[in-house]
A and B are shown apart, each in its own frame.
Chain A
Amino acid sequence: MSSALLELTAGEALAGIRSGELSSEECFDAYAQAAAADGLNAYLWSAEPGARGAGGEPLHGLPVAVKDLFCTEGIETTAGSRILEGYRPPYTATAVARLTDAGARLLGKTNMDEFAMGSSNENSAFGPVRNPWAHDRVPGGSSGGSAAAVAAGTAPWAIGTDTGGSIRQPAALCGIVGFKPTYGAISRYGMVAFASSLDQCGPLTRTVADAALLLSVMQGRDPHDTTSVGIEAGVELPSREDLAGLRIGVARDFSHHAEGVEPGVAEVFERSLALIEELGAEITEVELPHAEHGISAYYVIAPAEASTNLSRYDGVRYGLRVDGDLDLLGMYERTRARGFGAEVKRRVMLGTYALSSGYYEAYYGRAQRVRTRISEDFRTAFESVDLIATPTSPTVAFKLGERTADPLAMYLSDYFTVPMSLAGIPAVSIPAGLAQPPGGGPELPVGLQLTAPAFAESRLLDAAHALERTIGFDARPAAGGS
């Protein structure tokens, strides 16, 4: 019984609860048990079966898994870091509060790369998450726990955050839908900050319709986040079945400059383009001349912001403190040395350097100009197309440990997702097929990324929904992986 229940999409489960075929409590308990039995290290905390509270329209007590980057009052929130181990926030993030106010129940806090810095989930202080499709492979990151939980069926849906691809890339590697809304669509209040001008909350789900539902509940202006504006036109649940009349842009130059796009990924991408045309859309070549510099700009801007955002973890007020016979500076240094992992330290140092007097213009100033150019590229492109399609990730899920020794190779995982983050525009990854990894082995999911102009969420969801139906991706990870 309960394993069939876990197969349902969130939308189907909600329909069952509404019609009385399924009880909200039964549904919650089935997921709570599944989450507790999770063998992927996807959860850092999960609710006890029998936990109640919330419920009501429109989400009827349906469980939701939440990335451990979101503050949850009284429930440990670590952001995947030792420095916040044991930290219980005195308040709840706006996005989470909107979900529970809409009737959702908190299922668990999902594992993640420390402070959302990573593309493989191997930077978690609490151990890596395993990909449900192949346990020796990464789920992607940084929202790897959320993606793995949804793909493995231990959560009906989840929320995560995306700074340079942290929702879309793990969604692609785990074969689910990941949606990054326009910057400002959802409040960032209560999301532990990584790079404030890029961070955005979004859903990881099994279907585009589920993503639309979560987005519609979470989006909106929040007085606690003055950069939040919401989506003025609202979010329509997608209903479109074809792509007739749509112009979809493809940036061949941008795609071809990517190093190491795996042949299997390229093949799935081309097949997807053919399907797009079959559905009545017109494929048009567009140029994104500066997008290939996205990674370089991103790895200045994001670490710069992170270096100041993470300065508050000083051992004075909460979280880890290493003191003893130390003066103030000694306490700061030892606390941060022990509390932060290697990747966090690398980025804090990069960012500190980039903001230093005398270097600011050469690094941060210049990166911001590249960012402006990339935004202009998209604006120009969207004068002639409605959406732009790219692969989500150059590769399928790679092996645990394969890239940990080479940060630059790891950074290139986000080659296709970073430009949209820099431009602040919405993008979705949907499962587009399966491909073998280069060294052979069982087939793994490949994601297709669609992106739209700012606040054109409904257009994007509609097209993704139509394409999802046609692609008909119905593969599931074998129980226990392979």
Chain B
Amino acid sequence: MTEGSTMAESRWEPVIGLEIHVQLSTRTKMFCGCELSFGDEPNVHTCPICLAHPGTLPAPNQQAIQFALQIALALDCEITPRSIFHRKNYFYPDNPKAYQISQYDIPLATNGHLGDVRIHRVHLEEDAAKLVHVGESGRIQGSGHSLVDFNRGGTPLVEIVTEPDLHDPAVAREWLQLLRTTVRQIGASDVNMEEGSLRADANVSLRPAGSDELGTKTELKNMNSFRFLERGIRAEVERQAAILDAGGTVEQETLHFDPQTASLTPLRSKEYAHDYRYMPEPDLVPLAPTEDMIDAARAALPELPAARRRRYTDELGLDEKQATQLAFDAELGAYFERALAAADGVEGRTIANWVTGELIARLREAGDGDADPASSKVEPAAIARLAGMVARREISNGAGRKVLATLVAEGGEPDVIVEREGLGGMEDSGELEAIVERALESEPAAAERVRNGNLKAIGPLVGFVMRETKGRADGGEVSRLIREKLGL
């Protein structure tokens, strides 16, 4: 990860911790049998339990517990032998029991890390229902009335709290993307920030560069995209730096990020100054994962980004940057893995070069904003086949690029495209030799300069051959033949 540049000049060092909520993609809710949904009619996925009817009791979702264990294990956490559910009490219409079942002083897991960032704790809880404030602003202020949609109420959430180990907004964003990939790899969540299945709050403080002390922190909410997370933190760092530079003190408060204006406004103290009256949840026994549960969770873990990167550098010989690019992007990694599986003897490193180099560049050129191979028309097996054909010199590099352009535009099989467009290799080297000789005759000046040692002058000669062969000739082979004919 790289250090941000804008922070370097400041005499203040940002100290950033993240508090992340991940909505688990279980089939049913955390404490009842209602199915999870996104975008269904309001209040169709409800039952007496998630509507908090009198006498109902919570029964924990085993799949949610397994996902939470997997996330905790993926973050190298220690699993707590007996963790405790608590009631977090507050009155609000999105909270039908008037308490949220969460974990408090004894969470599911503690003391982990992901990359260089330490994980303070991982715990399980339930999501609130969704409030729709009727009125122009869409916010509670000035709204005539509010509607409650309980479909979301009771969705399983995993909360992940980091230690304040981040010091740069850009790095915070990168790290959150790594976390997202890790969770997605597990299959525990859609981890979509725009849809709210991944939410991150940030705790931000500044300290004099080089100091170990912690300054007064503020809490930032509502940054619902990776870009906004970085922007929000950056804005807050600048705000605090301005206060401190002017000799002022930062006030501990919670700030709401407005994506429209990229500004931060304090939440009214009433909205967050709760005494939650935490109490151990008497309706639930302690959560005591058995060895079998932990083993099963561990066994179900896929290869995670850090391990995958290690395999790419150690076994495939990729460089660090390329390995990171492929390992830390779940979709790109999955695409690359499928290409590797389809490889017909060609080296992984060669396929990696095609995927991260030519393919992504071509997608960008083609105006695919995301430049995402996985959503392109190019099948992983096709890129593997193409890489193999070029590596074995069945077609030239140039022909390979042409095939790729066709694949990007319309998909299909490389062999079929090569056949159709007549891009097959010049197997009869006599034909190529003849063309090279014609080139030397047609471009005598260039031939003379090359003969005199100016290798850069070879261009017009090669260009001639390529024109004549419609790009089928292998560039390396052409240069070799030219030099041979010129006695070099």
- Indicate whether A350 reaches chain B with its CB closer than 8 angstroms: no
Distance of A197 Cα from B281 Cα, bound (Å): 9
- Residues of chain A in range 332-364 having any CB-CB distance to chain B below 8 Å: 332, 352, 355-357, 360, 364
Q: Pick the residue among B53, B87, B93, B277 that contacts A318 (CB under 8 A).
A: B53
Least CB distance from A356 to B in Å reads 6
Distance of A395 Cα from B87 Cα, bound (Å): 38
Q: Pick the residue among B97, B282, B285 that contacts A311 (CB under 8 A).
A: B97
Cross-chain contact B57 with A225 (CB below 8 angstroms): yes
Contact with A along B68-94 (1 / 0, CB 8 A): 000000000000000000010101010
Cross-chain contact B93 with A308 (CB below 8 angstroms): no
Cross-chain contact A357 with B54 (CB below 8 angstroms): no
Cross-chain contact B91 with A355 (CB below 8 angstroms): no
Least CB distance from B151 to A in Å reads 14
- Indicate whether B44 reaches chain A with its CB closer than 8 angstroms: no
Query: Knowing A70-B55, A71-B53, A226-B57 touch, does A355 contact B98 (C-beta < 8 A)?
Result: no
Cross-chain contact B55 with A93 (CB below 8 angstroms): yes
- Indicate whether B353 reaches chain A with its CB closer than 8 angstroms: no
Query: Knowing A91-B48, A226-B59, A311-B89 touch, does A192 contact B54 (C-beta < 8 A)?
Result: yes
Cross-chain contact B98 with A314 (CB below 8 angstroms): yes
- Indicate whether B460 reaches chain A with its CB closer than 8 angstroms: no
Q: Pick the residue among A190, A225, A357 that contacts B275 (CB under 8 A).
A: A357
Least CB distance from B25 to A in Å reads 23
- Residues of chain A in range 58-86 having any CB-CB distance to chain B below 8 Å: 70-71, 77, 79, 84
Chain B positions within 8 Å of A193 at CB level:
54-55, 283
Q: Pick the residue among A91, A196, A308 that contacts B53 (CB under 8 A).
A: A91
If over half of B's interface residues share one DSSP class (helix, strand or loop), that class is named, otherwise mixed; here it is loop
Cross-chain contact B60 with A226 (CB below 8 angstroms): yes
Least CB distance from B273 to A in Å reads 11
Cross-chain contact A355 with B89 (CB below 8 angstroms): yes
Q: Pick the residue among A89, A308, A328 that contacts B54 (CB under 8 A).
A: A89
Cross-chain contact A77 with B285 (CB below 8 angstroms): no
Least CB distance from A73 to B in Å reads 10
Distance of A352 Cα from B59 Cα, bound (Å): 25
Least CB distance from B129 to A in Å reads 10
Query: Knowing A89-B48, A308-B89, A308-B98 touch, does A188 contact B277 (C-beta < 8 A)?
Result: no
- Output the nearest chain A residue to B98 by Cβ-Cβ distance: A311
- Residues of chain A in range 280-321 having any CB-CB distance to chain B below 8 Å: 304-305, 307-308, 311-312, 314, 316-318
Contact with A along B260-290 (1 / 0, CB 8 A): 0000000000000001011100111100000
Least CB distance from B290 to A in Å reads 15
Least CB distance from A143 to B in Å reads 16
Residues of B in contact with A, size category: 20 to 34
Of A79, A90, A332, A355, the most chain B CB neighbours within 10 A belong to A355
Cross-chain contact A90 with B91 (CB below 8 angstroms): no
Distance of A165 Cα from B53 Cα, bound (Å): 25
- Indicate whether B56 reaches chain A with its CB closer than 8 angstroms: yes
Q: Pick the residue among B52, B56, B98 that contacts A189 (CB under 8 A).
A: B56
Of A197, A223, A311, A360, the most chain B CB neighbours within 10 A belong to A311
Cross-chain contact B279 with A90 (CB below 8 angstroms): no
Chain B positions within 8 Å of A352 at CB level:
277
- Indicate whether A87 reaches chain B with its CB closer than 8 angstroms: yes
Chain B positions within 8 Å of A70 at CB level:
55
Chain A positions within 8 Å of B52 at CB level:
312, 317
- Indicate whether B96 reaches chain A with its CB closer than 8 angstroms: yes
- Indicate whether A369 reaches chain B with its CB closer than 8 angstroms: no
Query: Knowing A77-B54, A191-B55, A227-B285 touch, does A316 contact B148 (C-beta < 8 A)?
Result: yes
Distance of A226 Cα from B283 Cα, bound (Å): 7
- Indicate whether B51 reaches chain A with its CB closer than 8 angstroms: yes
Distance of A87 Cα from B52 Cα, bound (Å): 13
- Output the nearest chain B residue to A87 by Cβ-Cβ distance: B54
Contact with B along A211-227 (1 / 0, CB 8 A): 00000000000011111
28 A-B pairs whose Cβ atoms sit less than 8 Å apart in the complex: A71-B53, A71-B54, A87-B54, A89-B54, A89-B55, A90-B48, A90-B53, A91-B56, A188-B57, A189-B56, A196-B283, A197-B282, A226-B57, A226-B283, A226-B284, A226-B285, A227-B282, A227-B285, A308-B279, A311-B91, A312-B54, A312-B98, A314-B98, A317-B53, A318-B53, A355-B278, A356-B275, A357-B277
Beyond contacts A89-B53, A328-B93: 16 other A-B pairs, Cβ-Cβ < 8 A, are A91-B53, A189-B57, A197-B282, A225-B57, A226-B285, A305-B279, A308-B98, A308-B279, A311-B98, A311-B99, A312-B52, A314-B98, A316-B96, A355-B89, A357-B275, A360-B278
Q: Which residues of B come within 8 Å of A, CB atoms?
A: 48, 51-60, 87, 89, 91, 93, 96-99, 148, 275, 277-279, 282-285
Closest 10 CB pairs of A and B: A311-B98, A196-B282, A197-B282, A355-B277, A192-B54, A190-B55, A312-B52, A71-B55, A357-B275, A192-B55
